[in-house]
Amino acid sequence: MIASLEHENITYTVDLSKPLDISIPLEGSSRNPIAWNLEKPRIEPVTTEEWTASVAKGAAINFNNIYFNPHAHGTHTECLGHITEKVHSVQKSLSSYFYLATVISVAPELKKGDLVISRKQLHGILKGKSNKALVLRTLPNTISKKSQKYTDTNWPYLEEGAAKYIREMGVDHLLIDLPSVDKEKDGGKLKAHKAFWNYPEAPRLKATITEFIYVSNRIKDGTYLLNLQTAPFVNDATPSRPVLYKIISQ
C-alpha cells in the first residue's frame, strides 16, 4: 500500500506494506530483556480451585495473566510523568502517531569509565538538524540486545549536554536502544531525562522518550516515517510498538 505524507510543503511517498518494526516483543521467558533488578516477565494461565485456564490442560480457552514492568521488560514509551510528583499519563502526550524520524548510529565513547553519547558526537552526525523524532542506534549493534540482562552492567547513556542538544533541535520524540537514556546508577539525578523534558524550567508535556528498542542493521541511517503506537495504559509509561517505513521518494 503506497501512501503520501506532506510535511513542510514536501510530499513523501512510503510503502505501508513494508513495515520495519523496531520494538522488542515481551515474552514470559528468560529470553526477554531485563533491567532494574527485576525478574523475567510472567505470562501464566489463571488458576482457581476449579480449573487452570489453559487449553493444553483441558480448558476450553487460554486465559492468561501477564505480570511485567514497562520500564524493565521491553520497548516502552514514557512521558514527563516518569519524573514528576504530579501524575501525567503518556496517553495525553501523543496527539498523533506518525512522524518523520531521523535514524542515526553512534558509538558511545569512553569517559571516566563510562560509555557515553556526547553533544559533540551528535553534532558531528546531525549538524543541528533532525526531524521531530530521533532514533538512536548504539554501536556495536548485535542481536543480543533483544535478550540482554542489563542489571548492574552500567550501560551507555546520554550526557546531559547531548540530551539538551536533542531538545534544542526540536526533537519531540526520542527513541533509543538502551533501558534508559540515563546512567544506570546516578543517584536519582536523571540528568538526560530532565534535560530532554526541560524539567523543571519549562516542562515539555508533549515530548516522549521510547527506550529498549532494537534497530536491525538492515535499517540504514536516514529519514523514515515513524508510526509510534502505544498500549492505552493510563500510566507514566506503556508498552509501545514503534514501526519505521522507508521513504520511497520525495
Phi/psi region, residue 63 (left: phi>0; alpha: psi -120 to 50; beta: rest), is beta
Which of the four pLDDT bands, split at 50, 70 and 90, describes residue 56? Answer: very high
Q: What is the pLDDT of residue 84?
A: 97
Q: What is the DSSP letter of 119?
A: H
d(CA 21, CA 75): 11
Helices 119-126 and 160-168, axial angle in degrees (round to 10): 30
Domains in the chain: boundaries: 2-27+71-249
- What end-to-end distance do the CA atoms of the chain give, in Å? 17
Site of grid cell 533509543: 176
Q: What is the pLDDT of residue 250?
A: 66
Kindly report, residue by residue over 158-217, the tens digit of the pLDDT. Answer: 999 999 999 999 999 999 999 999 999 999 999 999 999 999 999 999 999 999 999 999
Report the b/e string of 167-182 with b at 16+ CB within 10 A: bebebbbbbbbbbbbb
2-27+71-249: which CATH architecture? 3-Layer(bba) Sandwich (3.50)
Q: What is the pLDDT of residue 8?
A: 66
Would you call 196 helix, strand, or coil by DSSP? helix
Would you call 170 helix, strand, or coil by DSSP? coil
Which residues, including other chains, have CB under 8 Å from residue 90's CB and lie 6 or more apart? 77, 78, 79, 81, 208, 230, 233, 235, 236, 237, 238
pTM: 0.96
Proportion of the chain above pLDDT 70, given as a percent: 99
81, 89, 105, 113, 141 from 183: Cα distances, Å: 19, 24, 19, 12, 19
**Out of 39-43, 125-129, 146-150, which region has the weakest mean confidence (pLDDT)?**
125-129
